[in-house]
Structures are given as structure tokens and as C-alpha cells.
Amino acid sequence: MIVNSSIFLLFLSLFISSATANTQISISPKTLNRSGDSVVIKWSGIDTPSNLDWLGIYSPPNSPHNHFIGYKFLNASSTWQSGSGSISLPLTNLRSNYTFRIFRWTRSEIDSKHLDHDQNPLPGTKHLLAESDQVTFGSGTPEQIHLAFEDGVDRMRVMFVAGDGEERFVRYGERKERLGDSVLARGVRYEREDMCDAPANTTLGWRDPGWVFDAVMENLNGGVRYYYQVGSDSKGWSEIHSFIARDVSSEETIAFMFGDMGCATPYTTFIRTQDESITTVKWILRDIEALGDKPALVSHIGDISYARGYSWVWDEFFSQIEPIASRVPYHVCIGNHEYDFPTQPWKPDWAAWTYGNDGGGECGVPYSMRFNMPGNSSEPTGMKAPPTRNLYYSYDVGSVHFVYISTETNFLTGGRQYEFIKRDLESVNREETPFVVVQGHRPMYTTSNEVRDAMIRQKMVENLEPLFVENNVTLALWGHVHRYERFCPIRNNTCGKQWRGSPVHLVIGMAGQDWQPIWQPRPNHPGLPIFPQPEQSMYRTGEFGYTRLVANKEKLTVSFVGNHDGEVHDTVEMLASGEVISGSKDDTVKTVPASATLVGKPESNVSWYVKGAGLMVLGVLLGFIIGFFTQGKKVSSSDNRWIPVKNEET
């Protein structure tokens, strides 16, 4: 037995040594201009190639072998079995150089204790075959540009990231060729020591986040297009972007709203990333471009990047949303994956099971530093980390008053957030803004089987719902559950006839994250999703997508756009009188071209079909199939990607 083992080890050693001696790796180009540019990695001379041979992606270049930011198996190349191949990778500027390493990994070395977030084995780094030269980003121009409203209605905030703290500016104006106004941007940064827990405060999860710059453009004329760029003469300027200044008296309000989007990466990393977010961004960008000179905004209500302590994922996220966020204000509220940590200050006994370590040790720091929302809400972390910001705030756009709240910090009666919500709702001028939209992360209502959050939902109904009811909130939007679900006008779990006194609730956490719970079972058939739906749930689906809000003084319309086709699959209309116009559970909305629900349509373009018995049976079958499959974990494949079945559930 000892002899056989020795022979095997000798064979393995010769196998690895032979591959190492012959393997060559090259990259082209060696200098990239900006994030999104691609590098081509070529290799040759791998003897007896294996489908476990893999390419590690490293930044900075001196990172230990097991501190890659991501990896791809060489079998992603169609010619890998010849021992040669190539992979093209778009890279994000992390303000340090990249290098690439090829490793041999054998099945006997798979370590069942060395796993990623989805419990898949991480590749081994024992046998290095080759390492590339370095790839650098030649331009130091700022990136990750994003806009936000400011407290002043004639202002617009712009934020961006650069590699150093030298002075940067924003120059802007109404003419692209004449950016006559200029403002100095304030630069800040955060450190590894500011993080609260692993992996965010470890050498594995931490990468230098660069400097985050923040400036406010002032004295803007409402409804006018402004052009701007960020940077400096010494370090270089960004390309010129543009936006439409906020017009509080606008006859029309347009918003694109969703939660739980995350981002995609061109490689596999330690955590699950969200491939569907690419499609969400694509369709929203299409809609924004179709608006021309009409202003709009984005609301992303929690679970923003899903970095969970791996700091470079924030860079990937901001690079992905820049085409949107550099054109329209991008507003956020905090979710569990930005904040939750074991020693967070507010963790009542009834929520001990709910609030865990979903933030990966970030304790809200990247979220607080990389965004700057209106207002000045903050809560101490109780640790060295700076206070958590961007918790609750509000603003007006046209006929809508938007309110953002935090479900991760104290929202109970008597607390600071509760008092803010109470004062804010009581002070709304309903002549100017007849509609009020409240947004938070964890839902007050859902028919998904989110048992862990049951006590939070109960406390929200007890503490927050009376404020919503008394102040005639029109619409409440929630994320956290990675599905779309629309409820009737509801109060104390009972349907009302108007939104006045019974707000319409929507769960809109379907923008990217692909883990989905089953629908909540009922006692009479505990092994199946709920069919028929509870009477409070008017429409629900496991489809990815986003919602589009369009409002004037008479009507607010919300449409759900599905990612699989970019078309509208559900619509609800709320009139200023209080009336709610939508389908019942016995109706299904006809698929409507997305252009039909864009602005400028005086009447609804939604047609309602009476559902036949055959469609009901089909819906039950589809719902059962999806309810079964979406319980599964993400599974390993040749490129470690898994996307659940994408079908509507009636």
C-alpha cells in the first residue's frame, strides 16, 4: 500500500512538473483605458490538460495565491483540451494592477472545508503553472459616477471614485461646449480598520477602496438639461455626462424602482453574484433613453451590491450602474446585506434570530461613504466604524412625495426614525403632492415563506402601519424577498376599497438576486405553494425585473416590467380620489409593450383577460415547479453559474 501511494505521488509530481515547465501565458493589451475594457489572456503548453485547471485573477499583483478576486476554469476556452486557449475578460479599475496565474487542481485535492458562499469547493492553489505580466490602467480619470438629489431643490449631488486624494472638481453648464460653473469636490476614504467583522476586515476581503469624492452642483434651473464632467487638469477629466435638473412643479413624475439587484462579475468569486442585474440595467437604460428630455429617478431599496465584505464587488457594482446613475439620480435605502453585523446596536430580543452577519462585516461603512442621500440621518455603530448614514429621508418630485426608511435600525414607536416618519408624513402638502410613496427593505406584507422575518413584519404592522393609514400613504414598496408581489389596498391584513386608509403594498426585490424562497405553505396543503393565492395577494411572480412609476396630479401608475422580454406584465393605477384600478385574482394582465406605459399616455393601455380554467391549471403546475426548484442551492457547473427557472406564477 505504501509502495502504491509513493508511485502515485511520484506520478503526480512528474505530472505537475511537466505542466509547469511547458506552460506559457501572455496578455494583451497590457494597458487599459477605463473600467469595462477587456484583456485577452492566452496560454499554451499545458500537458495533459484537466477540466480543473483554472485561471486566477489577482489585484494587487502581490496578493497571496488564495487571495484572488475571482477565477475562471480554463475549459471556458473552446480549445482548452489542446493545452492552449484564451479567455477575454472585461476588467474594472481597482486602482491597482492586475496579474493572472494558472493553477493545476486535482480531484484528490478538493477540500470540502474550503468553500465559497454557496458551499462550492474553492479551487486549490498548490500547483502554480504560470503567471502573467501585469495589466495596468493608464488613465487616472475618475470613475463610478453617480447622481443624487440634495436637500435644495435647485441642486444635484455627484459622487465618484479616484485613486488618490488630490483635488478634484466638477464643472458643469447648460451647454456641452461651455461648462462655465465649477465646484471643488470633497474627498473621503475609509480603512480596513473601520470594518466590524470578517471577511470585510481581513486581508482576504479587503482591497483599497480609493477616494470617494462628493460635490454639489447649485443654482440649477428646474427641468433643464445640464452637462458636467469630473476630474482635474493634472489627473484628467471624465467624459461629459448630462442630466435633467429636478423640477418640483413638473406635471409628470417618472421613477424606476426595485430592490436586491446586486451586480454581475465576469468571473466566479467567493460569493454569489447576480447575472440578472445586467438585464435589469439594460431595460432601465432603454427606458431612460426613450424619455428624451423628461427627468426621471431610480430607487434601489436595499441589498445594493451584495459585496458582503468583499470590497472589490462595490467597484463592480458602481461600474455596472454608471450608465444609469450618471444620467438620473440614484437613490437607495439600507438593507440587511449592507449593514447587519453580530454586535449591531439595535438588536431587540424578538429580532435576535433576524439580524445576523448578512453584511459580511461591513456594518454599513461602504454604503454610508459611497452614497450621500438627502437629510442627515445617522446611527452610531457602537464600534470604531463611522456612524451609519442614509437611513431615512424624503423629497418631492412633481406630484409624488417619496419617503425612505430603514428596517435594519430602530423603527419602533418613540424612536428617532419613528418621529421622523411621523413628522414627515404629517407635513406633506397633499395639494402639491397628492401621492405619498414609502420605501424600505424588509416587507411589511409578503406571502413568501420568510419565517425569519415574521416578528419584524408584526412589529412593522403594530408600529408603522398606523402612521401609513392615518396619513393616507398611497403606496408602500419593499424588497428583501426576491420576487414581485402586489397586494390589494390593505390595512391589518384586510383588503380595503381605496388606497386612502389602506395603502397598496408591493414587494419588488426581483431585480437580480436569484435565491428565492417558496411561497408560504398553508395547513391544508403544506407541501405546495399557495394556490389559490390569499385574497390579499393580487399578483405575484418569480420573474426578474423592475417597476416603473409614472404619476401626474390625477393618477399614479406602477407597472412591473419582466426581464425575459422587457415588457409590462402587471399594472396598478391609483387615482388621486383614492380609487385603485387593477385586476383581481381572477384576471390576468395581458403582456403590454413597454413603450405603451411610458409617459405621455392619457389613458391606461392595459387590457384584462378573463382567465380560463385551463390557464388556472397551468398556473398551478408552473407555480409548483418553480416552488420546487427555487428551493435549491446554486449548483456548480462548468462556469459556476445557476439561474432559476424564469416563468410567471399565476
pTM confidence score: 0.88
Distances (CA, A) of 249 to 398, 431, 553: 5, 12, 10
Rounded to an integer, what distance in angstroms lies between the CA atom of residue 222 and that of residue 250?
A: 9
Residue 39 neighbours by CB distance under 10 Å: 20
Rounded to an integer, what distance in angstroms lies between the CA atom of residue 398 and that of residue 197?
A: 42
Predicted pLDDT at 249? 84
Cis peptide before 386 (omega within 30 of 0): no
Predicted pLDDT at 594? 55
Taking a C-beta distance cutoff of 8 angstroms, is the pair 604, 571 a contact?
yes
Rounded to an integer, what distance in angstroms lies between the CA atom of residue 353 and that of residue 347?
A: 9
Q: Could you give the 3-state DSSP secondary structure of residue 574?
A: strand
Predicted pLDDT at 583? 55
Match 406635471 to its residue by C-alpha cell.
251
Residue 415, C-beta contacts closer than 8 angstroms, at least 6 positions apart: none
Rounded to an integer, what distance in angstroms lies between the CA atom of residue 28 and that of residue 303?
A: 36
Residue 493: which region, alpha, beta or left (left: phi > 0; alpha: psi -120 to 50)?
A: left
448, three cell numbers:
413568501
Task: Report the Cα–Cα distance between both ends of the chain, in Å, rounded.
Answer: 61
Distances (CA, A) of 302 to 1, 441, 460, 541: 57, 5, 17, 20
Residue 6, C-beta contacts closer than 8 angstroms, at least 6 positions apart: none
Rounded to an integer, what distance in angstroms lies between the CA atom of residue 378 and that of residue 384?
A: 15
Rounded to an integer, what distance in angstroms lies between the CA atom of residue 374 and that of residue 299?
A: 13
Predicted pLDDT at 526? 65
Distances (CA, A) of 151 to 100, 370, 376: 46, 18, 10
How wide is the angle at C-alpha 224 spanned by C-alphas 551 and 368, nearest 5°? 70
DSSP 8-state class, residue 121: B
DSSP string, 197-266: STTTTSTTT-----EEEEEEE-SPPTT-EEEEEEEETTTEEPPPEEEEPP-TT-S-EEEEEES------S
Query: Residue type at 31?
Result: T
542, three cell numbers:
418569480
Rounded to an integer, what distance in angstroms lies between the CA atom of residue 334 and that of residue 541?
A: 24
Predicted pLDDT at 139? 78
Residue 267, C-beta contacts closer than 8 angstroms, at least 6 positions apart: 57, 69, 70, 71, 72, 89
Match 408591493 to its residue by C-alpha cell.
506
Q: Which of 229, 226, 262, 209 is nearest to 94 (CA)?
A: 209
Predicted pLDDT at 648? 36
Query: Residue type at 477?
Result: L
Match 382567465 to its residue by C-alpha cell.
611
Give the burial class of 26: count Cβ atoms within 10 A of its Cβ; 0-12 exposed, 13-18 middle, 19 or more buried.
Answer: middle
Predicted pLDDT at 294? 95
460-495: b (≥16 Cβ within 10 Å) or e: bbebbbebbbebbbbbbbbbbbbbbbbbbbbbeeee
DSSP 8-state class, residue 387: P
Q: Which of 332, 377, 378, 383 is nearest to 362 (CA)?
A: 383
H or E segment and range at residue 279: helix 276-291
219, three cell numbers:
443654482
Rounded to an integer, what distance in angstroms lies between the CA atom of residue 86 and that of residue 76?
A: 9
Rounded to an integer, what distance in angstroms lies between the CA atom of residue 578 and that of residue 566?
A: 30
- Strands annotated E in 492-597: 494-495, 504-508, 537-541, 545-551, 555-562, 568-575, 580-581, 587-589
pLDDT beneath 70: ranges in the chain: 1-21, 522-532, 583-650
